[in-house]
């Protein structure tokens, strides 16, 4: 299950990178920095939910506990990528990376992390009721 969860997260990572390109290339130039980030965050949260809908049956968590593990695993991978790759590979300053967590400045990135955390459990719960 862990290997499948990792592969599923890699697909979500690709969606996140494409979303970032969409944000930088289209949303921000047309709507401005703040609106671009808000729309991009909401879009990525939706993409995580949709991806989870299709990926969780493939990952096959055996229980709700497994689904919570997947959520924690995905958030850990996301944070690791965001901070480690963001700083060491892409050269972003720590201040810039932490700025996405400033709710007072309208930065709602934390919504993506919350969605990533709960999506496996929500999807498993809905899909197991419909079987």
pLDDT tens per residue across span 34-49:
999 999 999 999 999 9
Could you give the dihedral angle defined by the CA atoms of residues 6, 11, 13 and 17, in that order, rounded to the nearest 10 degrees? 160
Above 90 in pLDDT, residue 107? no
DSSP assignment of 48-92 equals HHHHHHHHHHHH--SSHHHHHHHHHHHHHHHHHIIIIIIIIIT--
d(C-alpha 56, C-alpha 54), whole Å: 6
Average pLDDT rounded to a whole number, residues 91-117: 91
**Predicted local confidence at residue 131, as pLDDT:** 66
**Predicted local confidence at residue 104, as pLDDT:** 87
d(C-alpha 75, C-alpha 45), whole Å: 13
Is the separation of the CB atoms in 87 and 94 below 8 Å? yes
Average pLDDT rounded to a whole number, residues 95-102: 89
Mean pLDDT rounded to a whole number for the chain: 95
Confidence of residue 18 (pLDDT cuts 50, 70, 90): very high
What percent of the chain is predicted at pLDDT more than 70? 99
**Where exactly are the structural domains of the chain?**
2-129
C-alpha of 6 from chain center: 13
Query: Hey, what are 98's tokens?
Result: 């932490």
pLDDT tens per residue across span 48-85:
999 999 999 999 999 999 999 999 999 999 999 999 99
């Amino acid at each position: 299950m862990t290997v499948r969860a990792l592969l599923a997260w890699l697909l979500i990572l690709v969606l996140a990178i494409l979303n970032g390109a969409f944000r930088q290339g289209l949303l921000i130039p047309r709507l401005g920095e703040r609106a671009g980030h808000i729309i991009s965050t909401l879009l990525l949260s939706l993409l995580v939910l949709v991806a989870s809908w299709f990926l969780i049956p493939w990952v096959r968590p055996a229980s709700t506990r497994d689904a919570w593990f997947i959520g924690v695993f995905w958030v850990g991978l996301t944070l690791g990528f965001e901070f480690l790759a963001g700083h060491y590979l892409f050269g972003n300053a720590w201040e810039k990376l932490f700025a996405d967590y400033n709710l007072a400045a309208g930065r709602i990135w934390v919504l993506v992390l919350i969605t990533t955390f709960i999506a496996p459990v929500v999807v498993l719960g809905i899909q197991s009721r419909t079987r």
